[in-house]
Amino acid sequence: MIMKRLLLVLIFLFLVTVVVGVNVTYDHRAVVVNGQRRVLVSGSIHYPRSTPDMWQGLIEKSKEGGLDVIETYVFWNLHEPVRNQYDFEGRKDLVKFVKLVADAGLYVHLRVGPYVCAEWNYGGFPLWLHFIPGIVLRTDNEPFKAEMKRFTAKIVNMMKEEKLYASQGGPIILSQIENEYGNIQSSYGPAAKSYVNWAASMATSLDTGVPWVMCQQQDAPDPIIDTCNGFYCDGYKPNSENKPTMWTENWTGWFLSFGGAVPYRPVEDISYAVARFYQRGGTFQNYYMYHGGTNFGHSTGGPFISTSYDYDAPLDEYGAPREPKWGHLKDLHKAIKLCEEALVATDPTTTSLGQNVEASVYKTSSTCAAFLANVDTQNDATVDFNGNSYNLPAWSVSILPDCKNVVFNSAKINSMATIKRFVATSVKDEVSDSKAVSSDWSYVSEPVGISSNDAFDKKGLVEQINTTADQSDYLWYSISIDVKGDEPFLHGESQTTLHVKSLGHVLHLFINGQLEGSAIGIAGQPDFSKDFPITLKHGMNKLDLLSLTVGLQNYGAFFDKTGAGITGPVELTGGSTVDLSSQQWTYQIGLKGEALGLGSGGSSLWVSGSPKSQPLTWYKTTFDAPSGDTPLAIDFTGMGKGEAWVNGQSIGRYWPAYIAPTSGCSECSYKGSFGPTKCLKGCGKPSQNLYHVPRSWLKSTGNVLVLFEEIGGDPTQISFVTQELESLCSHVSESHPLPMEAWSQDKSTRKLKLESKPRVSLKCPHPNQVISSIKFASFGTPQGKCGSFSHGECQSTTALLIIQKACIGSRTCIIEVSATTFGEPCIGVVKSLAVEASCALNT
Ligand code: GAL
């Protein structure tokens, strides 16, 4: 009897699992969810790069933008900063993030890694790994594999306990093990192959019930799917005919480095790449990043990765849609989804329609979808397809969900563009209504050189990361020199120089307490040699070299062994040379202010004042939260290099003194292959001036801001700025596809129904705003882009009035691009409508 009951309970439990759980498998065409092949659009959002209060909004905007899946890495060093001590609180609350994605009805791709690269400190590895005896990371090495397995299992079990795998009814449909190991594995010799096989079977043995992928791993063993990363992945073929073609990283821009100009990637090129991928058989594509966000604290990798991880992603650093990128990709996703039935039904048949023009058709007896591509980097084309004529701009793809009507062309943007600016907010203080964060500062001077009882002496120069274990960015190398006047380096005509060779990343040299100069590596080449001209006095001279790391290496074979700091030689040179390298040095890890916890504002050491241009200074002030709810940042103009804390939380390293090169920012065309340095802006300017201050970190009054400045600045110059909309624009031609909303598919006939003409549509981003003015309007042949439109030879005289009437006072307005609306200004010419408007609060 008891046995029978138990059996019934077991059967019931089994049925419940089967009913709520979703079966995720794959075949050669696609990821298969509950027996159905799916065309999936995914986007990366890394949970610690925003604040938990932002997550829901980011996920909603992703859904609205047409994503099915949110992808995130899991960041090992964030969750296990100390071995066996886990942390999943606040921004580290992975379970909460995954559940929010589920609540929105989206899927999750969980890239456990646990090596992640990601421009994240040490590629996501906790630094303590490095100190485990006998360990070699990312290869067939027992100590490493034991740690990797422990952490991977920890995460998988955590997800299982919360029932977050699709097999349990949760949102996770895919997981990733390792990351791009194939790119560097040849450096690890034969052990690499056995490591890959081990990683694959370790992952599969964890029994998640959903498929695992390895990216850039062409030898990924079954059942792991090998996937592609890159700016383009059309033509990628997985290593088995049973695996689908998947693109795990489509880089929507590129990361910014301190000292570099700001990279961007035109949406015409991204949408071209995506459309080409689905055209050529792909069924899963992920934007890396869909929202890049901010590298708070010391989370940046590098070295030299900036605090902003904006990435030119469809959602900007602060979470707002970047237009027209977000909107144009949303249109693309709808177009692809209109093709889903045909895409999953069959393989494409591709034919050439002429030089550099090809058509791919997905056709069965009941459905047909086609992609027409012009891969020429210069010449537009007109082609015949299925008895109709189609215009294809250079480097563009048209999507025809019924093999007849073009609903989308990657180079023809229907969605609106916006111009956003960060505008100074006035802060009321007792003295004035100024734009500065504060005029009321206190400060503490950080001692130059050794100040701690924990300092230690050692003969010779030490490597920095092995010494600090990344507990601080800072390591003092100090030595005293007694000058009697007969030293060899004082002889001869030449000036005395101090020659320093360092593995990087930054060095500040102090002689007798004064900052003499700095040396800075550059992204890609953090090491440097520098000759500092110096003057020594008779008697004792104190040489204090402050060596800094700016984010630890995150990429490359054996990246974890890349050293930093002054490994020498250090020489004094004049007439002849004295090598100081093997002498006795005194070392101090970290700063006194760090040991005292000055970042959170405590301590009785603060004195009133804000001395300018003073190296090694801590500054503190209090402030009220700037009003409103628009994204908030601090403009650090006036400061040099350092770190900033708001109410004790680090908003990251700041470095407005590091200026991008003056050249390399010329006009860039979306046509032709993209690369990280093709499209750059901000040449000759600080790489990063604005630093995100999450609103959720603020109270209404009495917030504490602390800065640590290394080279000298003026804190009274820094200001709060908020992100404001300057203009809304749209420029749509009569020749554009109809607006995406106009296309709907009749379920029974599968015919596309057309409901309108090409049109301009504008919408103020906030519900409490309305269009307040029309700055420009032209129907005819207007030129230029948002912010700098100009009239062409042909223009209707009524456009401005008509648009003012249609738009002002409303949040949204839609205007058909046709001579019926505006009258005919020039017969026989293809015309377009360009509008620039502004929004204001609806009062
Ligand atoms: C890839 C890597 C990512 C990220 C990206 C560049 O190689 O997998 O984690 O680092 O490059 O942003």
Q: CA dihedral in degrees (463, 466, 471, 472; nearest 10)?
A: 10
Q: What is the DSSP letter of 740?
A: G
Q: Hey, whose CA ends up nearest to atom 3 of ligand 1?
A: 118
Cα 296 to ligand 1 centroid, rounded to whole Å = 18
**What is the rounded CA–CA span in Å between residue 3 and residue 693?**
61
Cα 59 to ligand 1 centroid, rounded to whole Å = 22
Express each pLDDT in 88-98 by its tens digit. Answer: 999 999 999 99
Q: What is the DSSP letter of 494?
A: S
Q: Hey, whose CA ends up nearest to atom 9 of ligand 1?
A: 118
- The values of phi and psi at residue 828, to 5°, are 85, 0
pLDDT at 424 exceeding the cut of 80: yes
Ligand 1 atom closest to the Cα of residue 119 is 10
Mean pLDDT of 268-284: 98
Residue 200, domain member (yes or no): yes
Confidence of residue 495 (pLDDT cuts 50, 70, 90): confident
The one-letter amino acid code at 727 reads S
**Which of 131-135, 356-360, 616-620, 750-754 shows the lowest per-residue confidence on average (mean pLDDT)?**
750-754
**What is the rounded CA–CA span in Å between residue 329 and residue 314?**
8
Token reading at 3:
């046995």
Distances (CA, A) of 241 to 212, 244, 277: 17, 8, 17
Cα 118 to ligand 1 centroid, rounded to whole Å = 5
Cα 230 to ligand 1 centroid, rounded to whole Å = 9
Residue 539 CB coordination number (10 Å)? 10
State whether 514 and 584 are in the same domain.
Answer: yes
Express each pLDDT in 348-373 by its tens digit. Answer: 999 999 999 999 999 999 999 999 99
Segments forming the whole domain that contains residue 359: 348-400
State whether 672 and 753 are in the same domain.
Answer: no
Q: Residue 632 has what pLDDT?
A: 97
Residue 495, domain member (yes or no): yes
State whether 761 and 682 are in the same domain.
Answer: no
Ligand 1 atom closest to the Cα of residue 118 is 9
**What is the rounded CA–CA span in Å between residue 233 and residue 248?**
9
pLDDT at 14 exceeding the cut of 80: no
Domain boundary among 680, 699, 717: 717
Ligand 1 atom closest to the Cα of residue 254 is 12
State whether 531 and 606 are in the same domain.
Answer: no
Confidence of residue 575 (pLDDT cuts 50, 70, 90): confident
Residue 518, domain member (yes or no): yes
Q: What percent of the chain has pLDDT over 70?
A: 95
State whether 734 and 710 are in the same domain.
Answer: no
Mean pLDDT of 523-542: 94
The beta strands (E) that lie in 205-346 are given as 212-215, 225-230, 246-251, 262-263, 284-291, 301-302
Domain boundary among 697, 717, 737: 717
Instruction: From 543, 711, 740, select the one nearest 638 (Cα to Cα).
Output: 711
Q: Are 435 and 427 in contact (CB under 8 A)?
A: yes
**Which of 229-238, 525-534, 677-686, 752-761 shows the lowest per-residue confidence on average (mean pLDDT)?**
752-761
Which of 45, 226, 312, 555 maximizes ligand 1 atoms within 8 Å of its Cβ, making it the mutation to test the pocket? 555
**What is the rounded CA–CA span in Å between residue 22 and residue 37?**
13
Mean pLDDT of 165-174: 98
Distances (CA, A) of 197 to 52, 144, 181: 37, 15, 12
pLDDT at 574 exceeding the cut of 70: yes
Q: Residue 2 has what pLDDT?
A: 63
Q: Are 67 and 326 in contact (CB under 8 A)?
A: no
- CATH number at 438 reads 2.60.120
- Give me the half-sphere count of Cα atoms (radius 13 Å) on the Cβ side of residue 139: 18
Mean pLDDT of 321-344: 97
Q: What is the DSSP letter of 13?
A: H
Q: Residue 739 has what pLDDT?
A: 84
Q: Residue 439 has what pLDDT?
A: 85
Residue 115, domain member (yes or no): yes
Q: Residue 492 has what pLDDT?
A: 55
Mean pLDDT of 408-421: 97
Q: Residue 606 has what pLDDT?
A: 98
Q: Hey, whose CA ends up nearest to atom 4 of ligand 1?
A: 118
Q: Are 780 and 796 in contact (CB under 8 A)?
A: yes
Cα 460 to ligand 1 centroid, rounded to whole Å = 37
Cα 555 to ligand 1 centroid, rounded to whole Å = 8
Residue 83, domain member (yes or no): yes
Residue 415, domain member (yes or no): no
Confidence of residue 3 (pLDDT cuts 50, 70, 90): low
Residue 406, domain member (yes or no): no
pLDDT at 12 exceeding the cut of 80: no
State whether 759 and 780 are in the same domain.
Answer: yes
Give helix then strand counts, H and E, for the chain. Answer: 13, 50
Express each pLDDT in 626-641 by its tens digit. Answer: 998 999 999 999 999 9
Confidence of residue 315 (pLDDT cuts 50, 70, 90): very high
Token reading at 823:
């009258």
**What is the rounded CA–CA span in Å between residue 642 and residue 223?**
48
Residue 418, domain member (yes or no): no
Residue 809 CB coordination number (10 Å)? 12
State whether 619 and 519 are in the same domain.
Answer: no
What single string gives the DSSP state of each residue in 221-251?
Answer: PTTSEEEEEES--TT---SSTTS--EEEEEE
- Give me the half-sphere count of Cα atoms (radius 13 Å) on the Cβ side of residue 196: 28
Characterize the bridge pairing of strands 607-608 and 497-502: unpaired
Domain boundary among 536, 570, 590: 590
**What is the rounded CA–CA span in Å between residue 231 and residue 258?**
23
Ligand 1 atom closest to the Cα of residue 289 is 12
- CATH number at 778 reads 2.60.120.740
Ligand 1 atom closest to the Cα of residue 555 is 10
State whether 81 and 164 are in the same domain.
Answer: yes
Mean pLDDT of 251-262: 98
Q: Residue 752 has what pLDDT?
A: 60
Express each pLDDT in 438-474 by its tens digit. Answer: 889 999 999 999 999 999 999 999 999 999 999 999 9
- CATH number at 147 reads 3.20.20.80
Packing angle of the helix pair 267-279, 325-338 (nearest 10 deg): 20
Mean pLDDT of 478-506: 85
Express each pLDDT in 179-229 by its tens digit. Answer: 999 999 999 999 999 999 999 999 999 999 999 999 999 999 999 999 999
State whether 185 and 267 are in the same domain.
Answer: yes
Residues with CB under 6 A from ligand 1: 116-119, 179-180, 229, 249, 255
Instruction: Report how many domains make up the chain.
Output: 5
Instruction: From 115, 508, 49, select the one nearest 306 (Cα to Cα).
Output: 49
Residue 831 CB coordination number (10 Å)? 24
Ligand 1 atom closest to the Cα of residue 301 is 10
Mean pLDDT of 570-599: 95
Cα 395 to ligand 1 centroid, rounded to whole Å = 25
Token reading at 522:
């550059």
Cα 180 to ligand 1 centroid, rounded to whole Å = 8
pLDDT at 580 exceeding the cut of 60: yes
State whether 567 and 642 are in the same domain.
Answer: no
Cα 251 to ligand 1 centroid, rounded to whole Å = 8
Q: Residue 320 has what pLDDT?
A: 97
Which of 49, 119, 306 maximizes ligand 1 atoms within 8 Å of its Cβ, making it the mutation to test the pocket? 119
State whether 237 and 375 are in the same domain.
Answer: no
Q: Hey, whose CA ends up nearest to atom 6 of ligand 1?
A: 118
pLDDT at 101 exceeding the cut of 90: yes
State whether 577 and 496 are in the same domain.
Answer: yes
Facing residues of 531 across strands? 499
Q: Residue 7 has what pLDDT?
A: 66
| 600 burial level (CB within 10 Å; 0-12, 13-18, 19+) | middle
The one-letter amino acid code at 450 reads I
Cis peptide leading into residue 202 (ω within 30°): no
pLDDT at 536 exceeding the cut of 60: yes
Express each pLDDT in 690-723 by its tens digit. Answer: 999 999 999 999 999 999 999 999 999 999 999 9
Residues recognised as catalytic: 180, 249
Cα 554 to ligand 1 centroid, rounded to whole Å = 9
Rg of the chain's alpha carbons, rounded to an integer? 30
- CATH number at 567 reads 2.60.120.260
Q: CA dihedral in degrees (57, 61, 62, 64; nearest 10)?
A: 140
Work out the mean pLDDT of the chain and round it to a whole number. 94
Ligand 1 atom closest to the Cα of residue 180 is 8
Ligand 1 atom closest to the Cα of residue 183 is 7
Express each pLDDT in 285-303 by its tens digit. Answer: 999 999 999 999 999 999 9
